[in-house]
Amino acid sequence: MPITRRDFIQYGVNAAFALGAAGYASNPLRALAQQKLTMEDLLQFDARGQVTLLHFTDVHAQLAPVYFRPPDTNIGVGDYAGIPPHLVGEAFLKHFGIERGSPLAYAHTYLDYVDLARTYGRLGGLDRTATLVKAIRAERGEDKVLFLDGGDTWQGSYTSLKTNGQDMVDCMALLKPDAMTAHWEFTFGTERLKEIIEGMGYPMLAQNVFDVEWDEPAFEAMKMFEKGGVKVAVIGQAMPYTPIANPKWMFPEYSFGIRAETLQENVDTARAEGAEVVVLLSHNGFDVDRKLATVVSGLDVILTGHTHDAVPEAVEVAGTLILSSGSHGKYLGRVDLEVKDGKVVGHSSRLIPVFSDVIAADAEMAAKIAEFRDPHAGELNRVLAKNDSLLYRRGNFNGTWDDLICQGIRERRDVQIALSPGFRWGTTLLPGQDITVDDLYTETSMSYPAVYRNEMTGAQLKVILEDVCDNLFNKDPFYQQGGDMVRVGGMTYTCHVNNEMGGRIADMALEDGTAIEADKTYTVGGWASVNEGTEGPAIYDLMEEFLVAKGTVNVPDTRTVKVVL
């Protein structure tokens, strides 16, 4: 029986230790990673049927390979507790049959992260993704492949900020997407958004975004393709709560929402027009799409994004395949579909980890990336501070990068309490790596970066925390508005995850243990306010000053939030 890609990657850790025992390598895992894992192994796949869907989402403007530590906390509530994607660490490995210490374990979990990162290296890089996409198109034939971009593509880096997203637009054009949807793209403002879309050469699909004045669809809802002799309808779904998660004043022309009824109408229209396969290209988030699959009929595949979840293979819900393809360019999702008599009768699916040390860079894409990054190389590589700790962002409640940002806000804005938004974007630094300008902007690059300084009562702080917490842990996914929990500096609290709104946040205290009182006023600093006219220094400028003054940073991975399930 031929070895599968997963078999090979699973075999890796045992073979590695065998090499070490035989005395062939002082670091057997590195020896295996360098000598055994190949692009061909990563591309091994149970190809089938007439249609191949390639999915790429939430790259957040990361053109180069990155480290990105998966979360150690990903809590599901209600019917969604304890099932994918709400599994981490050992539970994740057990559910998907992955061996600890293997390349797949490194790609998907936080376990042994620093050691495995140093063994297997960075993931992603748009030039490596281009190599994979071209290889799959060559293998399957371009007439069978649909490449779909799930959004959150243009925002999240130094060059993205300096070029107003043009670096990502031009690089993505080389990948030749068939369609995309959006979320953070709207934070470039309406005029820039329209300008880019008009020149892309492929559609931005968003069936759930309407023109406020005319109450009619503002963008194309659906695009029909013929692949492998099969009619495939792709419907787009932008992030439904964009005007709440981001500043509505930047795109006041548009109204959003899940619009399940409108989606059903679009599915029915697609079927009436002869679609044999209907795909939802979604930026809803995994749990929203889990529920959507149970209330909208006729969807064969949902390619989901927004929550940055990475599942090794598609999950089937009510007859719909749901694949979430991670973030930051770490993965390329693939779904093959076998279609007979107008119905999907078979499928294969897999996330391909984009191991940058294994996959050769595509020359055309590498040249385009260099065109945007090389002129800024001196600034991108400028060292701001030494780092002696693991700096990461992702996790429901904390991340050491945001702990560091909260330290910077408290010191530079002279406040008692700091708040840092629960963004999921932002890459990882290993202990011993320098903190460069490039690194700082992967955590802070955005179009509304002002760091405010306000006074708030304890009651107001509780309202803020309760509101964000409900966005994350409402038992009805249709009321989950995205993001992880706001990070706090200078205070602690307890979160009762499964309580109802208003009863989740308790035991609020300053870092010295003094209880935060409802009617007492505290100085609070934060950034990324959605309010128009927010005043203060840009977060990246503030943090640059803070880091340069510090010289060396060491951020202990302390947990300021007690979580009660």
Q: What is the pLDDT of residues 207-229, one digit of tens each?
A: 999 999 999 999 999 999 999 99
Rg of the chain taking only CA atoms, in angstroms: 23
Identify the bridge partners of residue 339 per DSSP, sorted by sequence position: 344
Q: Is the pLDDT of residue 518 over 80?
A: yes
Q: Is the pLDDT of residue 392 over 50?
A: yes
Convert 500-514 to b/e letters by CB count within 10 Å (16 or more is b).
eeeebbeebeeeeee
pLDDT in tens, 15-58: 343 333 333 344 555 545 545 788 888 998 999 999 999 999 99
The predicted model gives 278-306 an average pLDDT of 98
Q: Please give the model's pTM, rounded to 2 decimal places.
A: 0.94
C-alpha span between 281 and 286 (Å, rounded): 12
Is the preceding peptide bond at 312 cis, omega within 30 degrees of 0? no
Beta strands in 305-402 (DSSP E): 315-317, 320-324, 331-340, 343-353, 383-387
Q: Is the pLDDT of residue 183 over 50?
A: yes
Q: Is the pLDDT of residue 137 over 50?
A: yes
pLDDT in tens, 67-125: 999 999 999 999 999 999 999 999 999 999 999 999 999 999 999 999 999 999 999 99
pLDDT, residue 230, reads 98
Q: C-alpha angle 51/332/32, rounded to 5°?
A: 120
C-alpha span between 558 and 400 (Å, rounded): 8
pLDDT, residue 20, reads 38
Q: Is the pLDDT of residue 298 over 50?
A: yes
pLDDT, residue 482, reads 72
C-alpha span between 189 and 175 (Å, rounded): 25
pLDDT, residue 117, reads 96
Q: C-alpha angle 470/471/474, rounded to 5°?
A: 55
Q: How many CB atoms neighbour CB 476 within 10 A? A: 12
Cα–Cα distances in Å, from 296 out to 288, 468, 473? 12, 28, 23
Q: Which residues touch 40 (CB under 8 Å, ≥6 apart)? A: none
Alpha carbons within 13 angstroms on the beta-carbon side of residue 32 total: 23
Q: How many CB atoms neighbour CB 174 within 10 A? A: 18
Cα–Cα distances in Å, from 305 out to 58, 66, 141, 239, 482? 7, 19, 26, 9, 11
Percent of the chain surpassing pLDDT 70: 94
Q: Name the strand (E) or helix (H) holding 313.
A: none
Q: Please, which pLDDT band fits residue 519 given cuts at 50, 70 and 90? A: very high
pLDDT, residue 301, reads 98
Q: Residues 373, 160: contact at Cβ < 8 Å? A: no
Parallel, antiparallel, or unpaired for β 145-149 and 254-255? unpaired
Q: Which residues touch 323 (CB under 8 Å, ≥6 apart)? A: 55, 301, 302, 303, 304, 311, 313, 314, 315, 333, 335, 349, 351
Q: Is the pLDDT of residue 1 over 80?
A: no
Percent of the chain surpassing pLDDT 90: 91
C-alpha span between 101 and 92 (Å, rounded): 13
- What is the rounded average pLDDT for all residues in the chain? 93
pLDDT, residue 17, reads 37
C-alpha span between 508 and 523 (Å, rounded): 15
Query: Of the candidates 261, 263, 235, 239, which has an alpha carbon nearest to the alpha carbon of residue 251?
Result: 239
pLDDT, residue 39, reads 87
The predicted model gives 489-505 an average pLDDT of 97
pLDDT, residue 27, reads 53
The predicted model gives 486-510 an average pLDDT of 97
